[in-house]
Amino acid sequence: MNEYILPSAKQARFRNTAYQAPIVYDAIKLSDNQKHLGAGFKYHVATYGCQANVRDGEVISGILENMGYTFTNELKDADVIILNTCAIRENAEKKILGTIGYLKSFKRLNPDMIIGLCGCIPQQEQMVKMIIDKYPVVELIFGTHNIPSLPTLLENVVTNKERNVEVFSTLGSIYEDLPSVRQFKHKAFVNIMDGCDKFCTYCIVPYTRGQQRSRRLEDILKEVNFLKNEGYKEITLLGQNVNAYGKDLAEGYTFSDLLEKVSDTGLKRIRFTTSHPWDFDDKMIDIIAKRENLMPFIHLPLQSGNDEILKLMGRRYTAKEYKELFNKIKSKIKDVAISTDIIVGFPNETEEQFSDTLDMVEFCKYDNAYSFIFSSREGTPAATMKDQISIKEKKERLQRLNERLGYYSKLNNKKWEGKIVEVLVDGYSKTNPKIMSGYTPQQKLVNFSYDNAEIGAIIYVEITQGMKNSLNGKQVHLGKEDHE
Ligand code: SAH
Ligand code: SF4
Ligand code: F3S
């Protein structure tokens, strides 16, 4: 039997500020056998979780296609199924375990089917042990640091018909020149960094993704220029904490430097996510305000509006500081839209503390928000805090919060009624071929009737109705359309 390489909870916690992550160029080299391993076989990658996982899923697809596999959307027809998982909340984990159970029946019909598990769930020591014990159908397990090992691991499973497990809990490397099958031809994700060193006390990400490591500015620009030449109209720069970009690099450049350089490429639309309020500096705001191709949309996770809870969460800003930053962004960036993330029911959150979060929502009147009930994650500091608040109470708070968030997102969307906006066209409505959809610079979803629009073009739409989660409109022509 081969030896499993298992994750270590202790190692995952470790950080070394002097660490310079090794950069591996040309990270995927396939042997002749690996190049043909998938010929005649089909694969499916199911991705859960955040954009970092979506991007990893594109790379995994790229690797599998280079190995000769072809994509299928039908799980039952797939010879290789990869579940690219998320561990952020217990619900996310339960969903995956349910899916594995469901895949068992396909495996019975096709015993050669290979079921693989990757992403953030297998980065947790206790989860891997449990899966090895209880889910024998999962024959391939690899972590977020181990994507380049996929060809070898998969080859071993296929040839030796035995389970392979490789999950490192290292600080991490940077992999360049990865193949990928991107989801769209007009908008793309570009990783600028991986990992997180913020260690918010509720969050599993620093343990599953390793130490923060930024890609070199030159390597990011090379990818952005490549995408621009391929005709991409929009890119989203990705990181758990984009404003901390570069802090781990000897070169000494910052996220504003990167934004400036990426903006200089002339790509039409540039977005980024996620920005932590803690490292958000004036230089960043100024450059976004100045450059037309840096989109006026900022995701600014609040988590809580109460100082004691923020402190317990390890967020390192106060409600007052958040408000100041919020006001600065609103006043300097024209027509900016701001969205947020909020957690309710952090251990022992009182009604009064929760009402500070509601007050903050009244103050910020967010364009959009994601709200969650606190979920205890094994190994994080918050998991050891004894909690007295009932789940019923938490659900009730979530409902009250969502009612206010919904009220403001609708109010903000209604403000667009009668205005003409630029929309990057994504595709056709699933239910009505006469309707297309796309996003405005403020990242608002628009469904619109059209007479002459193509996927990937930036067109003009007059907004006729603003609703809670989207806008309705109709295409208009101003004589300066972009149909490149
Ligand atoms: N790096 C991003 C967040 C990534 S996780 C940031 O700092 O903004 C996305 C969101 O999931 C977080 O903003 C938080 O609101 C939520 N989240 C993270 N851990 C959670 C937990 N244990 N329980 C509930 N929600 C959580
Ligand atoms: Fe998690 Fe905080 Fe890092 Fe975001 S900044 S990924 S919430 S630890
Ligand atoms: Fe989930 Fe991992 Fe992203 S835990 S949110 S997929 S970094």
> Rounded to 5 degrees, what are φ and ψ at 408?
-75, -35
Atom from ligand 2 closest to the CA of residue 196: 3
What's at 134, amino acid-wise? K
What pLDDT is attached to residue 2? 82
Summarised one tens digit per residue, pLDDT across range 359-402 is 999 999 999 999 999 999 999 999 999 998 999 999 999 999 99
What pLDDT is attached to residue 279? 86
Give, for ligand 1, the residue of 200, 309, 343, 349 to mutate: max count of ligand atoms closer than 8 Å to Cβ: 343
Summarised one tens digit per residue, pLDDT across range 399-419 is 999 999 999 999 999 999 999
Read off the pLDDT of each residue in 39-43 and give the average, rounded to a whole number: 98
Structure tokens at 301: 């996770």
Nearest C-alpha neighbor of 115 from the set 61, 60, 65, 45: 45
Ligand 1 mean position, distance from CA 453 (Å): 37
- C-alpha dihedral, 213 to 214 to 219 to 224, nearest 10°: 130
Summarised one tens digit per residue, pLDDT across range 259-297 is 999 999 999 999 999 999 998 999 999 999 999 999 999
Atom from ligand 2 closest to the CA of residue 199: 8
CB-defined site of ligand 2, < 6 Å: 196, 198-200, 203, 205-206, 240-241, 276
Q: How confident is the model at residue 42 (pLDDT cuts 50, 70, 90)?
A: very high
Residue 203 beta carbon below 6 angstroms from any ligand 1 atom:
yes
What pLDDT is attached to residue 484? 43
Contacts of 72 (CB under 8 A, 6+ apart): 42, 43, 44, 78
Go through the domains of the chain in sequence order and give each one's CATH number: 9-166 (3.40.50.12160), 174-414 (3.80.30.20), 420-476 (2.40.50.140)
Read off the pLDDT of each residue in 28-32 and give the average, rounded to a whole number: 96
119 and 48 in contact (C-beta within 8 Å)? yes
Q: How confident is the model at residue 1 (pLDDT cuts 50, 70, 90)?
A: low
Measured CA to CA in angstroms, residue 292 lies from 21, 356, 461 at distances of 33, 35, 19
Q: How confident is the model at residue 479 (pLDDT cuts 50, 70, 90)?
A: confident
Atom 1 of ligand 2: nearest residue by CA position:
203
Please give the angle made by the CA atoms of 188, 189 and 192, to the nearest 5 degrees. Answer: 140
Nearest C-alpha neighbor of 389 from the set 341, 353, 340, 360: 353
What pLDDT is attached to residue 480? 73
Which ligand ends up closest to the CA of 274? 1
Nearest C-alpha neighbor of 293 from the set 243, 250, 233: 233
Give, for ligand 1, the residue of 339, 372, 385 to mutate: max count of ligand atoms closer than 8 Å to Cβ: 372
Nearest C-alpha neighbor of 209 from the set 300, 126, 87, 313: 87
305 and 371 in contact (C-beta within 8 Å)? no
Mean pLDDT of the chain: 96
Query: Does pLDDT of 232 surpass 80?
Result: yes
What's at 33, amino acid-wise? N
Give, for ligand 3, the residue of 86, 117, 118 to mutate: max count of ligand atoms closer than 8 Å to Cβ: 86
Read off the pLDDT of each residue in 246-256 and give the average, rounded to a whole number: 93
What pLDDT is attached to residue 481? 67
What pLDDT is attached to residue 367? 98
Contacts of 350 (CB under 8 A, 6+ apart): none
Query: Does pLDDT of 346 surpass 50?
Result: yes
- For the chain, give the secondary structure using H, E and C: CCCCECCCHHHHHCCCCCCCCCEECCCCCCCHHHHHCCCCCEEEEEECCCHHHHHHHHHHHHHHHHCCCEECCCHHHCCEEEEEECCCCHHHHHHHHHHHHHHHHHHHHCCCCEEEEEECHHHCHHHHHHHHHHCCCEEEEECCCCHHHHHHHHHHHHHHCCCEEECCCCCCCEECCCCCCCCCCCEEEEECEECCCCCCCCCCHHHHHCCCEECCHHHHHHHHHHHHHCCCCEEEEECCCHHHCCCCCCCCCCHHHHHHHHHHCCCCEEEEECCCHHHCCHHHHHHHHHCCCECCEEECCCECCCHHHHHHHCCCCCHHHHHHHHHHHHHHCCCCEEEEEEEECCCCCCHHHHHHHHHHHHHHCCCEEEEEECCCCCCCHHHHCCCCCCHHHHHHHHHHHHHHHHHHHHHHHHCCCCCEEEEEEEEECCCCCCEEEEECCCCCEEEEECCCCCCCCEEEEEEEEECCCCEEEEEECCCCCECC
Residue 461, beta-bridge partner list: 421, 475
> Rounded to 5 degrees, what are φ and ψ at 338?
-125, 130
